[in-house]
Amino acid sequence: MSRFLLTFAYNGAHYSGLQFQPRQTTVQELIEKALSQVLCEAVKVILSGRTDTGVHALAQLVQFDVKTEKAINRALNEKITRQLNGILPHDIAVISVKKTTNRFDVRKSVRKKTYTYLILISKQKNPFLNDLIWRIPHPLDLEAMRAAAKHLVGKHDFTSFCASDSCAVSKVRDLINIQFKTRCPFPLFKLKGDRCISIEFTGNGFLKQMVRTIVGTLVAVGQNKITPGDLKNILAAKDRKVAGLCAPARGLYLKKVIY
C-alpha cells in the first residue's frame, strides 16, 4: 500500500462543494473517478478540509492510497498529472501528485491555512468576473475595515462568525493574520472605475462559513453600518445573530495549506 498527496485547483462555481454529496456534483466525486480510471483501481481520497458550494481553491490537497505499486509507477508525477487533467473538466486542474509516507495525515497534519476573499467595488456589472468575485456597487471605508479586523486577530471563540448549524465541538480558533490588498488579480477584466480589494486570512483552522461571515461583517463596517469597535462586542457575544451577513461564496478562495 502506497500513499500519495494530490494538489489541485478548481473553480467551484458549478459544484456543490468539495466533499462528496449524494445526487449532487462535487469536486471529490470527479477527482475519485479520474484517479480510479487512471490507476485502474477504486480510489477514495481523504480531504485536507472542506469548501462550500461555489467556493474556489488555488491549492487544495487530498491524500489517497493505492494497492498496486506497479500501476502507480507507470504513471507517476508529470505523466499521471497529464492523464488526470485530460479526464477532468476544464474547471478542475491537477497541479501535482507526490508520494508521501504512510504516516502522513492530510487533515491532522495541517498547521495553517490561508484563504483570500475578493471584492470588486464597481457600479457596473462585470460579465467576466461574476462567478469569481463579490461586486459591491458603493465605496467602502478600507481604513475602518482594517481597524475592525485587528480585533479579530488572535485566539478567540468565533461562535458569532460561525454557521449556526456547525457541528464543530470547539469554536476556538487562532486567526494569525488578516491582510488587505488593493491590487486587482484580474487586471485584464478590470473595467474603468473598478476598484479591487482582497482580504487574506491565515489561521490554524477555520469554522464553517467563518471567513465569509467575517468578510460580511467587515463590509458592514466599510459601509458605516457598524463601527470598528463593534467587532469586540460581536466577538464577545458568541451569537451568530449579531454578526453581519455571510458574504457570497463566489469571492472566496482557499489559497494554501501549510504542513
Amino acid at 119: I
Q: Quick check: is 105 catalytic? A: no
Alpha-carbon distance of 163 to 99, in angstroms, equals 36
pLDDT at residue 79 in the model: 86
Distance set, CA 190 to CA 57, 120, 126, 132 (Å) = 21, 9, 8, 13
Predicted confidence (pLDDT) per residue in 154-187, tens digit: 999 999 999 999 988 999 999 999 999 998 888 8
Mean of the per-residue pLDDT values for the chain? 94
* CATH class entry, domain 2-100: alpha beta
Instruction: State whether the Cα torsion 119-28-8-255 is positive or negative.
Output: positive
Beta bridge partners, 177, equal 202
How many CB atoms are located within 10 Å of the residue 157 CB?
14
Q: Give the residue with greater pLDDT, 222 vs 77.
A: 222
pLDDT at residue 212 in the model: 99
In CATH terms, 112-258 corresponds, of 3.20.20.140, 4.10.490.10, 3.30.70.660, 3.30.43.10, to 3.30.70.660
Give the rounded percent of residues in the chain with a pLDDT score beyond 90: 83
Beta bridge partners, 174, equal 155
Residue 90 burial (10 A CB sphere; 0-12, 13-18, 19+): exposed
Q: Which of 96, 111, 105 is nearest to 64 (CA)?
A: 105
Q: Which three cell numbers stand for residue 186?
A: 484580474
In the chain, residues under CATH classification 3.30.70.660 are 112-258
Which of 52, 91, 230, 239 is catalytic? The answer is 52
In the chain, residues under CATH classification 3.30.70.580 are 2-100
pLDDT at residue 109 in the model: 94
Residue 187 burial (10 A CB sphere; 0-12, 13-18, 19+): exposed
pLDDT at residue 188 in the model: 77
Are 247 and 117 in contact by the 8 Å Cβ rule? The answer is yes
The arithmetic mean of pLDDT across residues 141-154, rounded, is 98
